[in-house]
Amino acid sequence: MKIKVGFFDKSLLKSFFSILSVISIILSFVLIGINIPNKYKLYTGIALFFVLIIIYIIMWIHANRSTNVKLNINNSTVRVKVGDIFEEEDLKVIPFNEYFDTCVDNRIISDKTLNGIYIKNKVNDIGELDYLIDSNQQLNEKIINQIHSRIEGKKKQYKIGSIFKHNDYLLTAFSKFDQDNRAYLYMNDYINFLINFWNEIDIIYAGRTVTIPLLGSGITRFKEYNMISEQELLELLLWSFKVSRIRFTYPAHVSIVIHESAKDKINFYRLRSVENGL
């Protein structure tokens, strides 16, 4: 078990003391009708102390083993869990680059990324997908430039956060590309992406559950930062949903799926305190 929640974590202690207060109230009522002989009071106190220690240890172990959490944000249900986005139902978000490139050649798009896996395994006709993207009127309104000097890949550059719906998948222009076709973002770009992204989701989702990967993990480079953790990216994603003011009506909800390889980098228990602080 990877230790992600410290033994004396403030949130964990707060939850424990909440349980302790309930136990104290119950014991107060029970002891009104039960008289413990003096010779047993010390043993009873010691036994109760060890029971409380065991309860706390169980809570601590559970907090560290947790791989999912259900949050309430904007009166909407947000579920964060470990899983495979391709096995989810309803709408699934797949991050593309700002050109909506579809060439999986391990130069423009790696076959190890969600983008590459989606194109290789979920798209029957890449030419048809390219045509649908290129001719989509709503998406063409999001074109911000045409880079004719770009040697490989497409020329049309779209506003980050733009979304193209392809069957049950929402393809979104997420990362920028440098001249060597390396994905990158400035933090300001990432924030702008999230704001535009949620606005697009609000228009498109039509009462259906939307499943999102942990956007920003993987190969994307944040120019001003040597390293940004998966936990920080997740908390930014939750914060952006909060400020977007989008509301998903039950049973629709937002689902954020964490890949199995990243589960030990996420403190799911901490997200409860993030929920309260949003």
Tell me, what's the pLDDT at 220? 59
Element (H, E) at 172: strand 169-177
Sort residue 207 into left (φ over 0), alpha (ψ -120 to 50) or beta: left
pLDDT at residue 148, rounded to an integer:
86
Cα 190 to Cα 224: distance, rounded to the nearest angstrom: 12
Q: What are the pLDDT tens digits along the chain (278 aa)?
A: 678 888 888 888 888 998 889 888 888 877 777 777 777 778 888 888 999 999 999 999 998 888 899 999 988 999 999 999 999 999 999 999 999 999 999 888 989 999 999 999 999 999 999 999 999 999 999 999 998 888 888 999 999 999 999 999 999 999 888 887 888 888 888 999 999 999 999 999 989 999 999 998 765 567 666 678 899 899 999 999 999 988 998 889 999 999 998 888 899 988 887 766 65
pLDDT of residue 173: 96
The two tokens of residue 203 are 């228009």
Question: What pLDDT was estimated at residue 98?
Answer: 94
Separation between Cα atoms, residue 105 and residue 110, nearest integer Å: 6
> What does the chain come to in residues?
278
Tell me which H or E stretch contains 258: strand 254-258
Burial degree of 270 (CB within 10 A; 0-12, 13-18, 19+): buried
How far apart are alpha carbons 79 and 235 in whole angstroms? 13
